[in-house]
Chain A
Amino acid sequence: MNAAERWLRSHWFRVFIAFVVLVATVIEWAAIPPVYPLNGVLSGASIVCILLSPFLPRVSGWLIIGTVVARLFVLDLSGPNPLWAAYLALAIIGYDSSIPVAVAALLVISFAECVPVAVNSFNALSATWLGLVNYIAMFVFATMIGMALRWRRQRDEIREQAMALERRQWEMDMLKRNIRLGSRIHDSASGGLSYIALTAQRQLRRIGDDDERADERRDWRFVNEQALAVLAEIHHVIDLLEQPQRQRADAGKDSVSPGDANRTASACQSAPARRTIPNVGETPPRRTTIEMIDDAVRNAGTSLDRLGFHGRIDVRGDPPDDCDVESVSAAVNLIGEISANITRHLTPKSGDYCLMVTLGSKSIELMETNPLPSSESTESPESSDSSASLMSNKTGRTAKLRSHGSGLALHRRIITDLGGELNTSAEDGDWVVYARIPFRRDASTGEVL
């Protein structure tokens, strides 16, 4: 929308009433053209002022009043009726000027029209004072309409300012809360994770390059990498919390949700550097889409393998070129959640897991099956959280940590918002997770293609 269209949208009513008055004046000019030249000049000036009224309302309004008053001295009633322009002038002065100025304009017109009545001239609006009252009432009405519209505009502006102020206050409150939350997360989690990482690194130094302790070294390296990756993610979340609302709305798109592809991608790297992915709504390069899926699958497989779980993860198909990064990120996050749920609810002896990732032309499908956990486990896999870490004890049995309780439910909500579906079921002793995530969302309708 260019500047002219914006101006027209905000001033359409001025243009409309000016157009109506102009049409009425021109029609009257055509029906009864002015006879005396000066009357024609004043009538022409009045039309020019009507044309300029949307652009120079106050100047045009006062000039119209000038022409109306001047025409009272011409003693020629031919030409367009000056009352149309007078009503317009009073309305726009009432709208654009202060109350004293609007009242002054009203008084000027009213007293000027009183003069012909007082001297009993033929060009008086009315032969009697009583008749003139009706015209003055019309002048007052026109002025009051302009003033009423101005008061309404001021009321709307005050209301908008109050809403903006309230929103800013809410944002400030949210920012304070988030800062407190970030500080709490930092104090409670960062210290412990740092200690875990330092302990793992100290153990790695103690073990050295002894080939006989290769398995132990691999395990400590894994612990170190996981601790560093989670620490980096927590720092990122704290950064997001400490940003103002608007900045977070933009910056938050870098990371679709806590625990996104970045965490998964960096989990197996020695340095937990964040990976740059396109913003939500953008289409990542096709290679990036494949890399994100492959990284998520590789990391999930590596993690499960290191914890002693057996199974297979297959990726097949070829994604299209125009994939939304939001959809790909949702798939990556779900792969990480499924991997975490396996470590949380199963033991290596429970059985093999199987995850199949199919990249279709319109959507990505994930199908995961694993044996149901033993009866002593009362928690369903869906009601757990990926943040709960798990370590094997000496017997190979996993030690449970308290879960958050909304793991797959959160993913289901995200996937449903994207137009996909996530279903879980227990069939014939197996836990089955199925998800379908469309690659693209239709921009015009919001529906997913």
Chain B
Amino acid sequence: MIRHRIGVAFVCVMIAAMIVAAIICMPAGPWRNAEAEPTSGRQTSRSATVDQPNFSGPDRIALSELWGGLHTSKGRDVLRDGSITSEEMDDVTKAYNACLSVYGLQSRVIDGGAGRNEVQVRGSLTETQRSKVSGECGMNTDYDALSAWYYRTQPAS
């Protein structure tokens, strides 16, 4: 009997602790407080001139504009050499998906790799909310800017 009561008390305490921890850590607004880089927790300020490399070639102007539009250090690291490899694009896509997954969304390849769209795997976002989340995550992870440049510069398969 005592053992049973101890077990019940243990379960109650654990459940209470989990719920209290969840409530304490609950962000005030999930939409705007979603971090740009959830895995690292770092938010990089937007700056068009910080550590900008000297791009060369016919795309130097476009690359400079693209650099100025980047929001994350990871995005700038990807673009620093003036080109985006498929591995670098995969990393950016993973960060984008991680941002989407907070809202129950995942991006998927469409048109044989020509682009991606977002599908809802969990949760109950409306179409408007889904577009908003997709836009925020695309901007905050630099996925929109880098993927557009990546798919534009990739030779047609």
Contact = CB atoms under 8 A, between A and B. Distances in A.
Interface in B77-94: none
Contact of B103 (A36, A59, A74, A122): A122
Nearest to A69: B19
For the residues of A in contact with B, the DSSP-based class is: helix
Of B18, B25, B38, B126, most buried by chain A (CB within 10 Å of CB) is: B18
Interface string B106-149: 10000000000000011111100100000000000000000000
A73 interface: yes
B18 A77 contact: no
Contact of A62 (B15, B39, B104, B124): B15
A125 B39 CA distance: 25
Interface in B1-59: 7, 10-11, 14-15, 18-19, 21-23, 25-27, 30-31, 38-39
Contact of A78 (B11, B31, B101): B101
Given A71-B22, A122-B104, A36 B7 contact: no
Interface residues on B, range: 20 to 34
A77 B11 contact: no
Contacts of A254: none
Nearest to B106: A32
B98 A78 contact: yes
A63 B15 contact: yes
B123 A62 contact: no
B25 A74 contact: yes
A81 interface: yes
Given A77-B101, A122-B103, A123-B104, A38 B11 contact: no
B30 A125 contact: no
Contacts of B103: 77, 122
Interface residues on A, range: 35 or more
Contact of A127 (B11, B121, B126): B126
B123 A77 contact: yes
Nearest to A45: B18
Contacts of A70: 15, 18-19, 21-22
Contact of A77 (B27, B38, B39, B104): B104
Given A35-B38, A71-B22, 13 more contacts: A33-B98, A35-B99, A36-B102, A42-B18, A65-B15, A73-B19, A73-B26, A74-B25, A77-B123, A81-B122, A116-B124, A122-B30, A131-B124
Complex A-B, nearest 3 residue pairs according to Cβ-Cβ distance, in ascending order = A66-B15, A127-B124, A73-B22
25 contacts: A32-B121, A35-B38, A35-B102, A36-B25, A36-B38, A38-B25, A45-B18, A58-B7, A62-B15, A63-B15, A65-B15, A66-B14, A66-B15, A66-B19, A67-B18, A70-B18, A71-B22, A73-B23, A77-B103, A77-B104, A77-B122, A77-B123, A122-B30, A123-B123, A131-B124
Interface of A: 32-33, 35-36, 38, 42, 45, 58-59, 62-63, 65-67, 69-78, 81, 116-117, 121-127, 131
